[in-house]
A and B are shown apart, each in its own frame.
Chain A
């Protein structure tokens, strides 16, 4: 319940404050958001499996975001930033899909 409230509060904050994305963050924010989404869906799956641990969630959330940003940064330095971003998005997308499939099985038994 509180978690859902947290999500709503974050969305409302973003809508009302309308902050500008800092220039240095611009290439990394989209990847970071996707990585965070992956961690969130992973956590929801673990919760439904009964193996959820908030410590694990925090660590995986933060490390997911950091690693994603790091990969993109590395790609930018190597001159393949665009391709690496696509790769990261694809991998995270696959993970999100499989997690959502597991969640669906739990919730709808199908």
Chain B
């Protein structure tokens, strides 16, 4: 009998199955099953399968650190947003206050039209009898009584810089504009206070009547003042910086 080689045995085993081969088959089936399962599990979750406890803990703590950082960033950004909103609010308030001031100053300086309760004072006189003496006093009285806006003959706004000059021909020159009698002075302010300011002993009405003029005072709920004056830019004066 010639020497049996490994190849002969393999061929023989392939031709004649034996009982021993069945056992081997079972074990090999287990091996194949386990191998395939492992490969599939590995494919599905390559990051964490087989990872050691310490690796997982390191991973988790890394994630926790990242979360902490992200949360800190969120808190910081929320703070920033809040402070920006506060800034925006205070800017809005400052803007509203500034607008109010602009309106107030505009009315006082006569740069914007105004409307409100007040009086209409009509002064009639013969030519050449009534002049700046009487009118200036009258305007002063009205100012003292709290006049907020004054207009004469619907054409001239009377403000702090307004100048009254007796015209060489007739009437008046107010800020260079000729104004003829009858003079209609429209004033915004408290109607009662304004009308009483003109009517007292030695007051405007008596002064006008002394030169044979007639004064009519009407208290009105709405006086409209459309004329505006131009405020010249200050050339020499500069505001003092306030702390």
Interface size class of B (residues with CB under 8 A): 35 or more
Is B230 located at the chain interface by the 8 A CB criterion?
Answer: no
**B35 contacts A14, C-beta separation under 8 Å:** yes
Nearest A residue (CB) for B21 = A2
**B6 contacts A106, C-beta separation under 8 Å:** yes
Q: A47-B10, A48-B6, A57-B23 in contact; A6/B41 too (CB < 8 A)? A: no
**A76 contacts B24, C-beta separation under 8 Å:** no
Query: Which residues of chain B are within 8 angstroms of A107 by Cβ–Cβ distance?
Result: 6-7, 10
**B27 contacts A61, C-beta separation under 8 Å:** yes
Q: A14-B40, A26-B49 in contact; A1/B6 too (CB < 8 A)? A: no
Query: Which residues of chain A are within 8 angstroms of B9 by Cβ–Cβ distance?
Result: 47-48, 50
**A33 contacts B35, C-beta separation under 8 Å:** yes
**B30 contacts A10, C-beta separation under 8 Å:** yes
**A33 contacts B41, C-beta separation under 8 Å:** no
**B21 contacts A15, C-beta separation under 8 Å:** no
A49 to B42, CA, bound (A): 36
Q: A48-B9, A106-B7 in contact; A11/B35 too (CB < 8 A)? A: yes
Query: Which residues of chain B are within 8 angstroms of A100 by Cβ–Cβ distance?
Result: none
Q: A26-B50, A106-B7 in contact; A6/B24 too (CB < 8 A)? A: yes
**B37 contacts A7, C-beta separation under 8 Å:** no
**B5 contacts A106, C-beta separation under 8 Å:** yes
Nearest B residue (CB) for A16 = B36
Interface size class of A (residues with CB under 8 A): 35 or more
B222 nearest CB across to chain A (Å): 88
Is B28 located at the chain interface by the 8 A CB criterion?
Answer: yes
**B31 contacts A36, C-beta separation under 8 Å:** yes
**Contact among B4, B6, B27 with A58 in the assembled complex (CB-CB below 8 Å):** B27
**A14 contacts B36, C-beta separation under 8 Å:** yes
**Beta-carbon contacts under 8 Å, B40-58 to A:** 40-42, 49-50, 52-55
Can you offer 27 A-B residue contacts whose CB atoms are under 8 A? A1-B13, A1-B15, A1-B17, A2-B25, A3-B21, A6-B22, A7-B32, A8-B32, A9-B25, A9-B32, A10-B29, A13-B32, A14-B37, A15-B36, A29-B34, A29-B38, A33-B34, A33-B38, A36-B27, A40-B27, A40-B31, A47-B6, A48-B7, A50-B4, A50-B9, A57-B23, A76-B52
Q: List the 7 shortest-distance A-B pairs measured between CB atoms, nearest first.
A: A6-B25, A10-B32, A14-B36, A48-B6, A106-B6, A10-B29, A54-B20
List 19 extra interface pairs beyond A14-B35, A36-B31, CB under 8 A: A1-B21, A2-B21, A8-B32, A10-B29, A10-B30, A10-B35, A10-B36, A13-B32, A18-B40, A20-B41, A21-B49, A30-B38, A30-B42, A36-B30, A47-B13, A50-B9, A53-B20, A76-B53, A106-B7
